[in-house]
Structure 1
Amino acid sequence: MVMSQTVLPAGFPLLEELERRKQLQGFVDRSHSFSIRPIHLNETSPDTSSVPLTNKTEIHYLPLLNSTRYTTGRPYGWGSFMMTPSVGFQNYVSGGVEGGNKWFRFRFQPEVLLSENRSFNGFPDYFPSSVNQARFRYWNTGDFPELFADSWNITPWWGQSKIALGYGAFELGLGTENIWWGPGQWNALIFSNNAQGFPHVSFNTRKPAKTFLGNFEGQLIVGRLENSMRPATQHPSLNSSLGRGFTGDWRYLNAVNITFNPFFAKSLFVGINRSQQQYSSDMGNSFVDFLPVLEPFQKIVYGFERDEEGRDQQTSVFARFVSVPAKTELYVEYGRRDHALNWREFILNPEHARAYLLGFTKLVSLESSPFDLQIRAEMVHQQESVNRFVRYPGLGGNITWHTHWRARGFVQNGQPLGVGVGVGSNAQTVEIALVDGIQKRGILLERLENHQDFFYRAFGQDSRMRPWVDLSIGFIFANRWNERLVTNSKLQFISTNNYQWNQNQLSTVAEFSQADIKVNALFQIDFVYQINTKKNIIK
């Protein structure tokens, strides 16, 4: 049996990028923002919307995804569901079935991760106490362990599973699927597929809701987040003397996304995300305790005395512009993790506690070639602005994106829910590729500034010290071998400059010395196997 609707998990390798590219080419409904994911394919692609939903229940197999990654030397990589930033071998498998009718849908898509969790040379134990305290400032306000297990480990999970009741453009569901909010392609400021999905109840649109003002999409969720319960470093002495343990409590999450596509600018999508989390032991019993996203934004209205409630709040606004004639998209997302005193303070001081990302995609048709040239780029910036020098005592600043003194970071099982490049880190990514449908051959260039907020707090006033910066190049090859099998592979070489801030000595020259440069590699290959060829989404 062939069901009329297939849900593509958030950040699914190759296929999500393909749907996004189809929109630039005019093959996919332009009213879809790609700012709330997972994507309901029958609402974006004419190829899967020709069969109307009926009262008859239908079931079909979902594509089987197998992702294998091997990383040498030190951790690298983000945005791969349950996969962790670790050294050695990892293998992720996901698959299942989905079905339903006009009113009810279910998707059973569990996942399992096999990981080696090899130890590596992480943060050293010989820095002076001031440096160690600066580093643990960010570990103690978050949950970002160096190792996610002590040896080989198998982790099963419900994965991209969900059950939902639907009517028209709306649905109410319960699931553990990954959520992605905002227009980003490699990162998102609030939710992405960087961490394992979490249990949540969701009221959301499954297609744009059409009104006289334009199209609206949205999602309101409440969920449960867990900590990893892992120590921060691989040095027990540092962990015991400086580390802050977890209580074992879980965190209550409430978040909302609203996306608007105005009738007078059909190529423009604008939206807002807001999230609030706190440990369950800090919660009250009032209505707004369960829906805190309804609370005022301004602190002067919200109340300063409520800081003891331990709520961590983040807000981002975003925009995406799509030009089909130019085969181009431009997007931006700007967020704050500490709300302003009032609107005047926000206007005068917009850079406080902010993070942002910018990106674009451009397709160029090539004459006498079946391939198009695709250029994609994105930059994400989490490092605190220079505002920290005038707002806080001293020169160290406060904390950074995805961290919080009481709520211990916007994370699930030790991984950030949004930006995966590292705490207080900045990244710039450029990809140049030849594409033809799902086929792709390309090069990836990436620059990663690691833990910049820690660096400037610990070493910023020492002119002899240099930051830890990774420069990498990756080679991408994706191919459809037959109507069932697609592979997507990446071999990435990472030149690591001043790893862990030069463990052996201070740098005495303006540039990185050759001794401070190490090269590591990351290889990943994804196999997507289409079991149900009658419902082929890899064409």
Structure 2
Amino acid sequence: MKNIIYIFQNKIRRSRVVSIAIWSVLLLILPGTWFSASSQTIPIDDIKEEQLRIHQLIHGSEYSSFTNRPTWNHIYLKYMDLDSDDYGIWSRVFQSPQYEYKSYFKVGIYSPNVEFTANSSVPYGENNEAAWYGKGFNTEFQGGFWLTSDFVTITFRPHIISQQNLEFDVPRFIPLDQDGNIRYIAEGIGNSIDRPFRFGPDSFQTFSLGYSSVRVHYKNIEAGVSTEPMWWGANVKYPLIMSNNAAGMPHFFIGTRGPLKVPYVGSFEFKWLGGFPEDSDYFDQEIQYQKDRFMNAVNLSYSPFFASNVHLGLTRAIHTYLDGGVLTSEELGYIFDPFLYKNFEKTRGPVGIIKPRNHLNSLYARWVWPQSNIEIYGEYFRDDFAWDTRDLLMEPRHNSGYAFGFQKLIFAPLVHFYKLNVELTNMTPGYLDEVRPQSYYYTDDAIRQGHTNRGQVIGAAIGPGSNSQFAGLDAYFDTGRIGIFARRMADNNHFHYEYDRFLNRPAEFRQGFGDYWRNRTDLTFGARGLFYYQNFLISANFSWTKLFNYGRYNYGEFGGINIKNFEPMDKTNVQFHLGVTYQF
């Protein structure tokens, strides 16, 4: 608890507005009268989340849009109470030990979790919060406690990681410093984002407060301070603005714990936050970019009163630098910046003369059909301004990305059901780049760290300029599940197109042809499973990845070389992951 308070004191020192708000929240803990309750937030990707989303496919999503995570445990209990069929552990309510003190409050334990991940050739991993899966072995521990009452909840669940971080082949487009040493920055676009291709030359350890928070709440409204990761939107694999691909950042917030229902209008869920993303140890840009950052963000979801299984949402995140480490009330208002540049210039002034900021926006939708046990979802992302509505309608693909997918339960013999998930994600700019400049998503010329925290992208794990196609099929039975999956990912095609555009090509490649056979693509096949045995949840994943044209070593080299006779320079990576959770 002292660590959480220290972080926020350090981040928002001398900020009268925010200090008063946060200390008001904390002081409520000390003298308040507490009453019996039984609820806390559920960590992202916990088995409870998997159970909850399965039951939404069976019963509908009236009690939660599942687009504003972490989700509260009382939402989970509502869904588990609906089940009339026996699906083995998928119908079982998982509850850790709880101890009640004179009907004032309850204390519980988060199930301890240990995970081991190994990569054979290169770093490979995603949606793993504070962890970074380098080559070699990576070991993680998560566990802690929660304390809850009717009006106050405290959680403490840190994340501790040890990363072996073995040496691997350095890609071509990693620059050297003036002394000839490797700079541990992003491949190809290193000056535009704080995303190291490797976190230094040695093994290292990481500590994160993880799912630690102090929150006050009344009915369905909550406010507080936290370091927990968040997942906004409906996507199963890659949400485009807020995911758990990076460690949770210190933030203060106000939001909902469940739907707020308005008669004849519908229900609303939201979270507004002020966060303080942190730099990695390898962010080495000029001094004017070595500043504390502030991220103002909001997630709003709406369900019409006549269609409770339809969820329409808006997310927005705005990054800026803090002058002297001080947060002002003006910066808290950046979230209300106009969405169109024509209006922005009228109210705020031209971008070149105002305080730098980086805007990211998205729209998402989710529609659950419990009668057919299926859901469809999608998200549209925009990384800058359109000039006006005319421009937006004429060029909606400018600096934009998108994702869409579906999940379906298939009831069939031998098991309780199968779950099929397909998701397509595109964060590669379109052909508009020929006539109108487009940036690498999650990057910004003025806010050089980009949309990152501790050196990892906060949004879609595939990263800027990439696109992916994912399919997975899992079979669910009494004591667990087993499944297979496949993914194709084009790794930063934007870089490939930009680099090729400026090549001095041979005559035979000047009429619309370039280096189209050396783009970076990863093809992954894998198997995964989860098994419950004598209070232990054991998860295992095994994947094989072919990294086509790893390193981009021969980009732009022609000399009679073409798709018929070029020499492929590929790599293969094998990843094994084992997780063990003790369920009391």
C-alpha distance in 2 between matches for 1:499 and 1:257: 37
Structure 1 residue ranges without an equivalent (≥5): 233-242, 393-397, 532-539
* 1:5 CA drift (Å): 1.5
Q: Quick check: 2:294–2:321 contact (8 Å CA) kept in 1?
A: yes
* 1:47 CA drift (Å): 6.6
* 1:15 CA drift (Å): 3.6
2:429 is aligned with what amino acid? E
SS at match of 1:96: strand
C-alpha distance in 1 between matches for 2:286 and 2:226: 32
* 1:293 CA drift (Å): 0.7
Aligned to 2:359: 313
1:387 matches 2:429: no
SS at match of 1:21: helix
| Greater Cα shift, 493-502 or 457-466 | 457-466
C-alpha distance in 2 between matches for 1:116 and 1:410: 26
| Greater Cα shift, 84-93 or 504-513 | 504-513
Aligned to 1:35: 67
* 1:390 CA drift (Å): 1.1
C-alpha distance in 1 between matches for 2:554 and 2:320: 37
1:7 is aligned with what amino acid? T
* 1:136 CA drift (Å): 7.0
* 1:259 CA drift (Å): 0.2
C-alpha distance in 1 between matches for 2:531 and 2:201: 36
C-alpha distance in 2 between matches for 1:480 and 1:511: 51
Q: CA 1:450–1:4 in structure 2 vs 1: closer, same or farther (change >3 Å)?
A: same
1:11 matches 2:45: yes
C-alpha distance in 2 between matches for 1:348 and 1:452: 24
**Mapping of residues 280-299 of structure 1, within 5 Å:** 280-281=322-323, 287-299=329-341
Structure 2 residue ranges without an equivalent (≥5): 1-34, 83-94, 177-181, 506-513
* 1:29 CA drift (Å): 5.3
> Deviations for 1:300-322, whole angstroms, at most 9, x for unmatched residues?
12115234521011000000010
Q: Quick check: 2:378–2:402 contact (8 Å CA) kept in 1?
A: yes
C-alpha distance in 2 between matches for 1:72 and 1:512: 29
1:261 matches 2:303: yes
Q: Quick check: 1:82–1:92 contact (8 Å CA) kept in 2?
A: no
SS at match of 2:206: strand
Q: Quick check: 1:5–1:49 contact (8 Å CA) kept in 2?
A: no
Q: Quick check: 1:334–1:357 contact (8 Å CA) kept in 2?
A: yes
* 1:184 CA drift (Å): 1.0
Paired residues, number: 508
Aligned to 1:443: 484
2:392 is aligned, of 333, 338, 346, to 346
* 1:371 CA drift (Å): 3.1
Q: Quick check: 2:229–2:247 contact (8 Å CA) kept in 1?
A: yes
Aligned to 1:490: 541
SS at match of 1:352: coil
Aligned to 1:248: 290
1:157 matches 2:208: yes
**Mapping of residues 96-135 of structure 1, within 5 Å:** 96-124=144-172
**Mapping of residues 130-529 of structure 1, within 5 Å:** 138-212=189-263, 213-230=265-282, 247-281=289-323, 287-303=329-345, 305-307=350-352, 308-367=354-413, 369-392=414-437, 398-408=438-448, 409-436=450-477, 439-460=480-501, 463-464=514-515, 465-482=517-534, 484-503=535-554, 506=557, 508-510=561-563, 515-529=568-582
* 1:427 CA drift (Å): 1.3
Aligned to 2:58: 25
Q: Quick check: 1:195–1:416 contact (8 Å CA) kept in 2?
A: yes
Q: CA 1:275–1:78 in structure 2 vs 1: closer, same or farther (change >3 Å)?
A: same
C-alpha distance in 1 between matches for 2:141 and 2:537: 15
Aligned to 2:142: 94
Q: Quick check: 2:549–2:569 contact (8 Å CA) kept in 1?
A: yes
Q: Quick check: 2:174–2:187 contact (8 Å CA) kept in 1?
A: no
* 1:511 CA drift (Å): 6.8
**Mapping of residues 41-52 of structure 1, within 5 Å:** 41-46=73-78
C-alpha distance in 1 between matches for 2:81 and 2:235: 26
Aligned to 1:65: 113
Q: Quick check: 1:433–1:441 contact (8 Å CA) kept in 2?
A: yes
Q: CA 1:458–1:514 in structure 2 vs 1: closer, same or farther (change >3 Å)?
A: closer
C-alpha distance in 2 between matches for 1:425 and 1:512: 27
Larger radius of gyration: 2
C-alpha distance in 1 between matches for 2:479 and 2:210: 25
> Deviations for 1:150-182, whole angstroms, at most 9, x for unmatched residues?
312111121110111101110011110011100
> Deviations for 1:471-520, whole angstroms, at most 9, x for unmatched residues?
110011211112x2111111000011111224499473437967433221
1:160 is aligned with what amino acid? Y
Q: CA 1:3–1:529 in structure 2 vs 1: closer, same or farther (change >3 Å)?
A: farther
C-alpha distance in 1 between matches for 2:280 and 2:311: 36
* 1:44 CA drift (Å): 3.3
Aligned to 1:56: 104
TM-score by length of 2: 0.81
* 1:214 CA drift (Å): 1.0
1:78 is aligned with what amino acid? E
Q: CA 1:334–1:504 in structure 2 vs 1: closer, same or farther (change >3 Å)?
A: closer
Q: Quick check: 2:155–2:214 contact (8 Å CA) kept in 1?
A: yes
Q: Quick check: 1:5–1:48 contact (8 Å CA) kept in 2?
A: no
2:70 is aligned with what amino acid? P
* 1:41 CA drift (Å): 2.4
Q: Quick check: 2:536–2:583 contact (8 Å CA) kept in 1?
A: yes
> Deviations for 1:73-115, whole angstroms, at most 9, x for unmatched residues?
1122210111214211111211111121101111111111111
C-alpha distance in 2 between matches for 1:158 and 1:518: 36
SS at match of 1:150: coil
Q: CA 1:361–1:285 in structure 2 vs 1: closer, same or farther (change >3 Å)?
A: closer
C-alpha distance in 2 between matches for 1:386 and 1:164: 46
SS at match of 2:550: coil
C-alpha distance in 1 between matches for 2:148 and 2:172: 54
1:477 is aligned with what amino acid? G
Q: Indicate the percent of aligned positions where both proteins have the same amino acid.
A: 24
Q: CA 1:343–1:164 in structure 2 vs 1: closer, same or farther (change >3 Å)?
A: same
Q: CA 1:297–1:437 in structure 2 vs 1: closer, same or farther (change >3 Å)?
A: farther
Aligned to 2:22: none
TM-score by length of 1: 0.88
